[in-house]
Every structure is written in structure tokens, then in C-alpha cells.
Amino acid sequence: MKKLLLLLVCGIAMVACHENLEQRAARQAKEFTQKNCPSAIRDNVRTDSLTYDEATRTLIYSYTLFNELDDSANMKAQEAKSVEGLRNALTRDISMKTYKDAGFNIRYVYHSNKKPQLILLQKTFTPEEYQ
């Protein structure tokens, strides 16, 4: 009886400590942002944050663009090419495999450095678009 009780308690403890994929995504996004953001400016881009929206199962990467990339007319003209580049990179990204296999959405948001409230490019990829 004692062994059965001990096994039951250990089993409950193990289940209580286990996080699901959504909880893991939220935790890892928060940890990534705390550790890496804002990043150094590289190729006129700075990584500002990674967040997880549980309601839509979406990982959201937020960036700020600088210098010649911080131009709404240029970004509008290059939007199709930029979106295709993001899609190709996401499709090849093996570090996202767990989340892609689970059907998460992935959103990229690029803000202007000159006008931080201005979104220069925003694209959400659904599993149908990146697989």
C-alpha cells in the first residue's frame, strides 16, 4: 500500500511540473526577450522582442529598422520580395521545427526607428504558408 501511495504521489508530482507546448512557448519567448533584446543593430535591423499570443497560437518577432531600411516607400515597394524572403527563411529554419510541427502561426513585425509607432512591414505566416 505504501509503495502504491508513493508511486501515485510521484506520478502526480511529475505531471504537475510538466508544461505544455503553449506554456513552453510563452516561457521561452519571455526568456529570449530578457536575455537578447534589444539586440545590437545588425544590417540596419534590431531585434526588440519575441512574444507569444496564446489566444492565436502565434509567436511574434518584433524588430526595428534603421537608416535606409527605415523608409516606408521603399518597404512598400519591396514588400512582396521581403515577405517571400521571410517565408523562405521560416521554411528552412530548423530551430522552429517544434512550433511549426504543432501548427503555430509566426508573425514578423518591423517598426520604424524614426517613428516607432509606424509599422513598416507586418506578416503572419500560417502553417499552410510555411510548410
* Separation CA 73–CA 31 (nearest Å): 35
Beta strands 119-125 and 105-112, pairing class:
antiparallel
| pLDDT, tens digit only, all 131 positions of the chain | 444 444 444 444 454 568 999 999 999 999 999 999 999 999 999 999 999 999 999 999 999 999 999 999 999 999 999 999 999 999 999 999 999 999 999 999 999 999 999 999 999 999 999 98
- CB–CB of 38/87 below 8 Å? no
Q: Which three cell numbers stand for residue 126?
A: 500560417
pTM: 0.85
CA dist., res. 105 & res. 118, Å (int): 22
Residue whose C-alpha is closest to residue 87's, from 111, 113, 69, 107: 107
